[in-house]
């Protein structure tokens, strides 16, 4: 059930059809391996976060683009079935919907290649057209499977309206992260994304958090997978314990985490408690195969916590 007195959560980002195949182990360069059946499962970091936030009780709008094709229709239907408001999703001629090719091995670890398709047609102008919706949102969530200039415009509109902005810098851009994208209210990278956007060698976690704050992030929640998370806020660095699960597939665990964090903050939880709730959502997501197929519902997370 949706809470009446909460602000809207707007997710701006990618939406993909994931083509998932289980393999015993992921192939070496030049190697062919035989896998299980090919499964078609809705995904995309943006859409995953939108669906996760809605399942956890948020009032969610999604802004993105799909192609004018069968995957596009299926993906939109999936959003609506999950109570995500998708009126602002544009159907784009002449380009396919985003697709991701995902291999999941026996350890539950994955390799993902994204063919962005329509996601890369999401323009700064698209975001400007939805300024009224963004202005009245409580939280805006962004990731980086859309063009960087579009994410930059979204952050700038959020700042203008004082809307709390969360950036999941995934995937980390090859050319580095533009300065304005560090200056969001909350950054939620994992350790390797954090090192990549800072252009630093593998370093210790305290240095990583401190450097992200120096770059202008209001707060940093570093996702540490099975190790939980670390909250960096002002001078504080607060470890957050994870939950132990038997991981079958880690796909979308980071998306479930970020979405849960937004929902919890929107409900007034303080950051460390919100991060613990997010760890629970991420852990539960790892217990099932696929992206949106594995995103937990609110009852599951509350019971698990």
The set of catalytic residues is: 255
CB of residue 210 to ligand RIB, shortest distance in Å: 27
Residue 121 in the binding site for ligand RIB (CB under 6 A)? no
Q: Provide the pairing of β-strand 8-12 with 60-63.
A: parallel
Neighbours of 88 (CB within 10 A): 17
Rg (the chain; Cα; Å) = 18
Residue 82 in the binding site for ligand RIB (CB under 6 A)? no
Nearer CB in complex with ligand RIB: 58/116: 116
Residue 261 in the binding site for ligand RIB (CB under 6 A)? no
CA distance 196 to 51: 27
Nearer CB in complex with ligand RIB: 8/168: 168
**Residue from 114, 134, 184, 213 in contact with ligand RIB (CB under 6 A):** 114
| Phi then psi dihedrals of residue 67, to 5 deg | -80, 165
Contact positions with ligand RIB (CB under 6 A) in 33-62: 43-45, 48
Burial 46-70 (b: 16+ CB within 10 A, else e): bbbbbbbbbbbbbbbbbbbbbbebe
> Is the bond preceding residue 299 a cis peptide, omega within 30 degrees?
no
Among positive and negative, which fits the CA dihedral 6, 266, 56, 258?
Answer: positive
The answer to whether 287 and 256 are in contact (CB under 8 A) is no
CB of residue 48 to ligand RIB, shortest distance in Å: 5
Residue nearest to ligand RIB (CB): 43
CB of residue 5 to ligand RIB, shortest distance in Å: 31
Contact positions with ligand RIB (CB under 6 A) in 137-156: 145
CA distance 211 to 220: 10
Query: Secondary structure of the chain: what % helix, strand, coil (to 5)?
Result: 40, 20, 40
Residue 116 in the binding site for ligand RIB (CB under 6 A)? no
Nearer CB in complex with ligand RIB: 48/59: 48
CB of residue 103 to ligand RIB, shortest distance in Å: 12
Residue 100 in the binding site for ligand RIB (CB under 6 A)? yes
**Residue from 39, 112, 205, 210 in contact with ligand RIB (CB under 6 A):** 112
Residue 126 in the binding site for ligand RIB (CB under 6 A)? no
Binding site for ligand RIB (CB under 6 A): 14, 16, 18, 43-45, 48, 100, 112, 114, 145, 251-252, 254-255, 291
């Amino acid at each position: 059930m949706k809470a009446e007195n909460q602000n809207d959560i707007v997710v701006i980002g990618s939406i993909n059809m994931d083509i998932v195949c289980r393999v015993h182990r992921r192939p070496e360069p030049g190697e062919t391996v035989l896998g299980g059946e090919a499964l078609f499962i809705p995904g995309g970091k943006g859409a995953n976060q939108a669906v996760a936030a809605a399942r956890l009780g948020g009032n969610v709008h999604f802004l993105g683009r799909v192609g004018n094709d069968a995957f596009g229709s299926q993906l939109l239907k999936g959003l609506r079935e999950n109570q995500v408001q998708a009126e602002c999703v544009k159907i784009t001629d002449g380009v396919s919907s985003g697709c991701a090719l995902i291999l999941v091995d026996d350890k539950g670890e994955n390799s993902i290649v994204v063919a962005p398709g329509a996601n890369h047609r999401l323009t700064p102008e698209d975001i400007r057209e939805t300024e009224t919706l963004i202005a009245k949102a409580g939280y805006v969530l962004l990731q980086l499977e859309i063009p960087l200039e579009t994410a930059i415009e979204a952050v700038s509109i959020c700042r203008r309206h004082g809307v709390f902005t969360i950036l999941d810098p995934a995937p980390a851009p090859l050319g580095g992260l533009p300065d304005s994208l560090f200056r969001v209210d909350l950054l939620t990278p994992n350790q390797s994304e954090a090192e990549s956007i800072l252009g630093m060698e593998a370093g210790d976690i305290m240095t990583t958090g401190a450097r992200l704050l120096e770059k202008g992030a209001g707060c940093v929640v570093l996702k540490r997978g099975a190790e939980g998370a670390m909250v960096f806020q002002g001078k504080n660095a607060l470890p957050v314990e994870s939950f132990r699960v038997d991981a079958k597939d880690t796909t979308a665990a980071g998306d479930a985490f970020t979405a849960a964090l937004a929902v919890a903050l929107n409900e007034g939880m303080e950051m460390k408690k919100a991060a613990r709730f997010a760890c629970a959502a991420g852990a539960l997501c790892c217990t099932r195969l696929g992206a949106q197929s594995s995103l937990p519902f609110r009852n599951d997370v509350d019971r698990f916590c």
